[in-house]
Structure 1
Amino acid sequence: MTDTSTLVRSAAARVFAAQGYLRTTLHDIAAAAGLSSDNVERHSPEKYTLFAQSVLGAARTLLQASDHLVADVHDSRQARAQLAAVIEASARATIAQRNASGFYRSEVRHLLPDDRAENAAMVEEVQARIRRPLAVMRPDLEPAEIALLAAASQSAVASITIHPTDMPEQKILTLLTTAAMRVLDSSPVRPSEIAPAREVHLPWRHDDSPRSRIQRTALSLFARDGFCAVAPDDVAAASGVSVDVIASEFGDLSGLLLDACCVGHAELQRIDDDVLATAETPRDALVGFSCNYVHYSFDEPDGMTAFLNDGRRMPGEQKLEFLRMQAFTVGHWVRSLLGIRPELSLPEAQFLVFAGMCIVNDLGRKLGWQRDELTETRVQRVVLAAMATIRAC
């Protein structure tokens, strides 16, 4: 029989993962646990305490899953075996807590400094358990490349926490572990393989009109603090534009975020249409889409971060519009991937596409959105590797 404290912690993790820290109340947690609010408050009167337990508990579970696998390896055969075992252990742990760990990307910013440091240390150790055998298996790689591949392999596994596509657990496990190992086997980028990306045009990037200043400022605040933490007064103070003007241009901040998402989506669609017009094969199309997505994300990190972190948490019809935009872009990738790998089912292709897209955002944050063609090409290489054994060039 599950005790009340365990029931509350489990419910809290699910609600925080679905709604985010700022949107969640103790009443929401009580409802998810099937308890009264008074009962929840008796066991944990502070929402933050439950939140920290949820985030740190998820990281600790992931780390402990591979504790028994830590050992020195001395040749490439041993290293590959250890890598495969660590990846599988991580994937099993992630699958087991899929609905209760989706806050790893954005919600950790709400942790207090000591808790954030503890979480970061556990995440670092998880990735170190991949870097160490990878360095033995692939001694030709530079440390920076090893670190990038280790982070990308974990991102591929963690991607299942941010989308609802469902399949039998064993199929998910096979799909994720295979994708992660393909990432670790991917080849370094040669200078001759760097290709220029299509130029992105967004009105708020260069226009200094009040409307553009509002959008540029708001997206920066949303990306840094989260949509729910930002008020119209914050945007007004940072942009130098009055709250009344913000209201006349966008109505409210939800309208502002939706407008920016729609404009950004239209621009991504424009450069993807260029790909469709010139691609001769599904491989050409997928390479082009991934190149566009990586370049757009690195060129407009604030907008993409706000889109991914807060779009699916918009109210009502605005959330549905976000989901339509996301489904449109994902659909392009999925159709191309199925053209390359017809043996995949539709859900399998969707899993792999979300893994690739998740890698872009996670590596972007890890690299500080460093904008140069070599970095973007490296990221694109591992994105493609997660989905299929193809090269960009």
Structure 2
Amino acid sequence: MDAHKGRAPRESASGENAAPRVIRRRPRNRRAQIAATSAEAFGALGYHGVSMEEIASRLDISSTALYRHYPSKYALFREEALRLSTLCAEAVQLPDDLADASASLRLQHILDTLIEKSIANRRGAALLRWQSRYLEEEDYRVLIDQLIEAYRVVGGLLAEARPGPAGADSVVLATAALSIIGSISDHHVSIPVRSLTKLLRTACLDVVRSDLPPVGEPPVSDGATEVPLRFKHELLLRRAIELFHERGYPNVSVEDIANAAELPASSAVYRFYRSKGDILAAAFRRAADRVSAAIGPAIAASDGDPERALTRLIELYVAGSFAERELTFVYYAEISNVPQEDRTVLRNIQRLNVEEWAKLVVGVRRELSAAESRVLVHAAFALVVDLGQWLGPDNPICSRARVTHLMQVILFGRPAATTR
């Protein structure tokens, strides 16, 4: 008889049966797990808001184990940011079997590939959209060059597929299409992958096939009106947002804000706001309230016509965003730095605003579900930020009229048929 057969379980010193020893083996894909988890953390909380200990905790490993894979938080951040930008550059490389295909077919293939990659990396792609500016200069240049290549290829194929639009128009339409694809990293709307793929593809094609309004005269910015010095709290708020936009929230001190607002000392800031985070929250509440305040009057003046109401809301949204371009960007890029309690309130306001817009979209396009409509609303909002960031806030090729037109195309599938 085998000596081990029938052996009683080993007892501990206390007389109780000892639990079998659990051997934890390191997963073969540990590095990939670290990359995915860190990208999600950086995208949600910001580069400066995440520590190696936070990432290790999410992975249920020790920080010492994490440092065995990456020597620093920056090394981890850099690798994942450049991995995502490399995916974009690779997605616009055509396979050999499409070399002789029509420009339209090649463009559709690239858009489909970008959509597939974006969905697969949705939970971490916010890192690429909003946190990449915290890369060191050399790394940032590599990332931007890769993204520019993606924009160049899409714009070139669009111009080839549609000889009509001028070169500048192709740039705007390509930027709009890529903005639609990237916007899914800005929200958590739950929708099946197949439905999301079809929705993004349709929206991109609607945009690239649309005819932009004429460029016209260069727009006159109405966001540069000077705040009277006696309104110190307003001046302080504006100067703070300008600095957050230029340098990034973590790189701006209260002293910097005081100097920009021409206050005698940094302590003077605290007469108006409790903290730097409170300044950011106050600006964000104002932006959220501006969007909320427009909904009721627009619906009331529409005589029950959802397209008319939404057309008016788009006009108001574009006007408000153009008046506060820095704030529109900072809202997306820095919301993770708002104190948690304020962030929860802001997220709730944003969610309610999106739901009201989505109800109007469904009223116009009854074939869409509520979730699909919310995805399109988020895409329309993101478009305003992305056009300003990539093409310049005062560039006449992305004027108010053109941004308004593109928001309509995203939400209606065509330009608006009604006017207010």
1:13 maps to 2:39: yes
Amino acid across the alignment from 2:258: A
Q: Distance in 2 between matches of 1:315 and 1:296?
A: 25
The CA distance in 1 between the partners of 2:297 and 2:29, in whole Å, is 57
Q: What is the rounded CA distance, in whole Å, between the counterparts of 2:298 and 2:105 in structure 1? A: 39
Greater helix proportion: 1
Q: Relative to 1, partners in 2 of residues 1:131 and 1:246: Cα closer, same or farther, differing over 3 Å?
A: same
- Cα 1:79/1:320, change in 2 over 3 Å: same
Letter in 2 for 1:344: L
The residue number in structure 2 matching 1:385 is: 409
Q: Alpha-carbon deviation of 1:368?
A: 1.6
Per-residue deviation at 1:212? Answer: 1.8
Q: Percent identity?
A: 24
Contact 1:260 1:303 in 2 (8 A): yes
CA deviation map 1:238-279 (0-9, x unaligned): 222232221121111222122222233333444454433432
Question: Structure 2 matches for 1:104-253, cutoff 5 A?
Answer: 104-190=128-214, 206-208=227-229, 209-241=231-263, 242-253=265-276
CA–CA distance in structure 1, aligned partners of residues 374 and 336 of structure 2: 17
Are positions 1:262 and 2:285 aligned together?
yes
Larger Rg: 2
* 1:177 to 1:10, Cα distance in 2 relative to 1, 3 A: same
Q: Secondary structure at the match of 1:362?
A: helix
Write the distance in 2 (CA, Å) between the matches of 1:276 and 1:205. Answer: 32
Q: 1:373 to 1:36 in 2, by over 3 A?
A: closer
Residues 138-171 of structure 1: CA deviation (Å, up to 9, x unaligned): 1111111100100110110111111011111111
Distance 1:114 1:201 in 2: 33
Cross-structure match for 1:285: 309
SS state at 1:173 partner: helix
Structure 1 residue 10: Cα displacement: 2.6
Structure 1 contact 69–82 (Cα < 8 Å) conserved: no
Q: CA deviation at 1:11?
A: 2.2
Q: Tell me the distance in 1 between the aligned counterparts of 2:356 and 2:154.
A: 32
Please list the CA deviations of residues 311-348 of structure 1 after superposition, one character each: whole Å capped at 9, or x if unmatched.
25422210112112212332332121111001111100
What amino acid sits opposite 2:227 in the alignment? Answer: H
Compute the RMSD of aligned alpha carbons: 2.6
Aligned residue in 2 for 1:58: 84
150-159 or 245-254: bigger deviation: 245-254
Please show how residues 335-374 of structure 1 align to structure 2 within 5 Å. Answer: 335-370=359-394
CA distance in 1, matches of 2:171, 2:199: 22
Structure 2 equivalent of residue 28 of structure 1: 54
Gap runs ≥5 in structure 1: none
1:218 CA drift (Å): 0.7
**Do 2:45 and 2:336's aligned partners in 1 also have CA atoms closer than 8 Å?**
no
Q: Note if contact 2:44-2:126 (Cα within 8 Å) is conserved in structure 1.
A: yes
Given the superposition, is the C-alpha separation of residues 387 and 283 from structure 1 closer, same or farther in structure 2, using an over 3 Å criterion? same
Tell me the TM-score normalised to structure 1 length: 0.90
TM-score normalised by L of structure 2 = 0.85
Note the C-alpha offset of 1:305.
Answer: 1.8
Contact (CA 8 Å) 2:249, 2:337: kept in 1 or not? no
1:195-234 residue CA offsets vs partner (Å, 9 max, x unmatched):
x99x9899x9523222122111111111222223322122
Are 2:120 and 1:96 equivalent residues in the alignment? yes
Q: Is the 8 A contact 1:282 1:337 kept in 2?
A: yes
Structure 1 distance, partners of 2:97, 2:89, is 15
Q: Which amino acid aligns with 1:46?
A: S
CA contact (8 A) 1:272 1:292 kept: no
What is the letter of the counterpart of residue 50 of structure 1? Answer: L
Report what 1:299 is aligned to. 323
Change (3 A) 1:267 1:36: same
Give the deviation of 1:88 after TM superposition.
0.7
The alpha carbon displacement at 1:105 in A equals 2.5
